Structures are given as C-alpha cells and as structure tokens.
Homo-oligomer: A and B are copies of this chain.
C-alpha cells in the first residue's frame, strides 16, 4: 500500500472520529457580526489553533487584528527545498436569522439523510475540517512532503476588513509558492469542478457637479448644463454599440482566452439558456461579438453601472435642474488588467469627454486583482488528477465572473496564485436557514485533499 493509500485508509477508518470533531466545531456559535458572540469567536479560534498544534504546527498563534483574531500556524518540516502551501480559511459564520425557519437548531448539528445540518456546516467549517483531517491522515501514516502554512481569519462574513493590513504586515511570514483556498464548492455531487480564475474588480463613484445648488428647470433649462444629463452621456459612452467597453486602453492587457481554455470552457453545461435561467431573464444581452455567454460572464472584462442618483427621486414631479449627479460604476477585470490602470483610463475618459460646465471627481471605492491559476501549472494538474481519482470522472475547469478579494490580495501582495478546492454544493443554503453539508461529498473531499497534498509534495 502506498503512503497515499494508507492515508486514505486512515481517513476511511476514522470517519466517526472526524464527524465528532466536525460537530464540536459547529457547536461553537462563532457569528462574527454579533458582539455577544465575541467569546465564541475566541473559542473557535482556540479550537482551530489547538488542531494545528496537534498536527505539529509550530508556532501556532492567535494573532490580534483590529477585529477578530487571525489564527496563524506553520509546519515547515519538509525543508527549504520543498514547496510551501498557504491555506486560507475562516472560522466565523453568518448569523442565523430567520431562526424560525430552521428545522433543527443551527448550533446543534444534526444528520438527516446524507446531510449534516448546522450553521457553518458548508461555509466553511466543513471545508476546514476536510483540510485538517486530510493533514491528519497524512501525518498519522507517513510524512507531509510539503511545507504548510495556515491563515484562518475570523471576519470573512463581515468583509475581512482587517485582512489586507494583516497580510501587508506579515508578507515574509506568509511567503509561499501557492495558496490553497477551500472556501468554495463543486458543481454537483457527481460533478467535480475546479475554479481556476476569478475576475478582479475596480469600483468607482463618479460625482458630477453642475450649478452650485439645484435650479428651477423652467428658468434654466436650455442654458445651464445638467449634471444628470452629463452623467448619462458619459456612462452611455462607456460602451460601443456592440457592448465593448470604450475606455481608452481598456483591453490592452487582457490575456486572450487560449484555444485549450476555450475547449475546457465549452465542456461546461452553461448554454445561453442555462445562464438566462440562472439569472431569471428572458434574454441575455447582446455582448462582445465572438464570445460565448460563459466567456463573457467569466473570462472577459465588463463594465456595469451599480448605482445612479441625482435630483428628485420621490413620488411625483419636481422641476429641478440638479446640482449634482452620482454614478457608481464598476469594471470586472481579467488577467492581466490592473485596477490602477483602469482608474487612470476612467479619469482620462472623463477629462476628455465632459464639458467645462461640469466639474467632476472620481473616487475608487474598492478594487481587487483578477487571479488565474494557469491550467498548465503543476497545481492545476495535481488538483485535476486528485479530483478525477476520487470521483472517477475528469473535473470541469471553470472561471468565475465574481471576485474573491482574498485571492486577489494574495496575488497582489504575496505574488502567488491560488488553488481553489472546496466541497460545498450549490444547494447548501449558504447564509440561509438549514445550511448543510453533503456528507458523501465531504468525505470525498477529505480524500481529494489527501491525494492533492501528496501530489503537490511530489512535485517539488
């Protein structure tokens, strides 16, 4: 029996013990947003830290932040020649409201059928347990062939406000070759999938100023420029007739989708009708010519208006020529676009487009870097093989249209890609009543992590 098979056997033999610990963690109501749960947050952090200690991580520290602490631990026994993986995770969970819609108490885990019900069962205590138990299975039967670091935060469900500063302050500590993010899911219990790319984000608020105060549109309509009209004009001008973004240089650094990738993306069960059904719309929009809906939604950059506000918006009519107009506009970015370039391009566009009658300012409200793990990389290959070995079918490779800020941060600040492997399912009721984890998928997940970590170690 190989080392890997021994570890898999260990995991199989200890399922009952694993479930005990899984449920122990779920019983800690670590709701980060509610002040009354602060002691529970501490307990959860300590519980996690203790698990790393039992796996010979040294040091393991509960490190303070401006909010809830971050658990950091490392196990560098594989030596400087071996690759180092940084696990990202979070030990906090969402609130449980509306509590009356739960069929069993959210912090008293209950198995019904093939599922384990509890707040955090899927997001993401179940995924943390899966990684911890994979590490344990390897450690108890052979030796971990790679160096492992773990950074488990307590504020993911409240926006990770202190994470960026933490990473910035501990770049050396967190140095690694690859990041592993288990806070994710597969497409269905019988459909393994690997998300290998995320879009980034550049989010702006554009504020246009016309007259000093609101004016009467009867008196001044026709001679005083209207910032609401001006806002509509600049926003309308951000796309051409076919849906391409017109900001200067917007596509300059966009990495083309390779033929191999297009072939992979084409395997996804995501037709136009599938997307329309998921969005609950009758028709998809006309988009960039030459790209499928999946490519446009995940692998091409886009620009959307997220908010508009100007003038009188109450019931009825008020004949105001508004003093101000505000638009929130955000772009989804793909490799190798950089948020700061987009910000510069937007400013250039506004400067070139707006008349002298309109004063403007633009503020970047948030950004995150696009991230992509090359399909040709060892890590992507290892994950693909591990999934196929456990599920018996090749995984689908997909990109996500949204951003996972931590993945962008790690790319931007530590300079490494992230491998996103986790075993939630789309129907796990994340952030909702009756959150659950599908247990057969969970145990396949533990086996997958065992095989994946072995492959990553072997690739040194």
Contacts and interface: CB of A to CB of B under 8 A. Distances in A.
Contact of A223 (B280, B284, B402): B284
B201 A218 contact: yes
Chain A interface size, as a band, is 35 or more
A400 interface: yes
A112 to B, nearest CB: 30
A221 to B, nearest CB: 4
A239 interface: yes
Given A236-B232, A307-B228, A279 B223 contact: yes
Centre residue among A199, A222, A275, A402 by max chain B CB count within 10 A: A222
Contacts of A330: 217, 317, 319
A313 interface: yes
Interface string A285-329: 111100001001100101111111111110011111110011110
A212 interface: yes
A243 B41 CA distance: 60
A216 B203 CA distance: 14
A64 interface: no
Interface string A65-95: 0000000000000000000000000000000
Given A305-B322, A312-B328, A317-B330, A285 B224 contact: yes
Count of this chain's copies in the oligomeric assembly = 2
B311 A307 contact: yes
Contacts of A281: 210-212, 224-225, 357
A430 to B, nearest CB: 13
Contacts of A310: 305, 307-308
Nearest to A281: B211
Contact of A308 (B218, B222, B325): B325
B365 A228 contact: no
Centre residue among A224, A233, A296, A356 by max chain B CB count within 10 A: A224
Contacts of A309: 308-309, 313
B332 A328 contact: no
B224 A279 contact: yes
Contacts of A366: 316-317
Nearest to A313: B309
A296 B281 CA distance: 43
Interface in A205-249: 205, 210-213, 215-226, 228-229, 231-233, 235-237, 239
Q: Which 8 A-B pairs have the closest CB atoms?
A: A218-B402, A236-B236, A225-B285, A228-B305, A222-B302, A232-B235, A307-B311, A221-B302
29 contacts: A199-B218, A205-B317, A211-B279, A212-B280, A217-B332, A220-B275, A220-B401, A221-B302, A221-B303, A221-B304, A221-B332, A222-B287, A222-B296, A222-B297, A224-B284, A225-B281, A225-B285, A226-B304, A228-B235, A229-B235, A229-B236, A236-B237, A284-B357, A286-B355, A306-B317, A307-B320, A307-B322, A308-B310, A319-B402
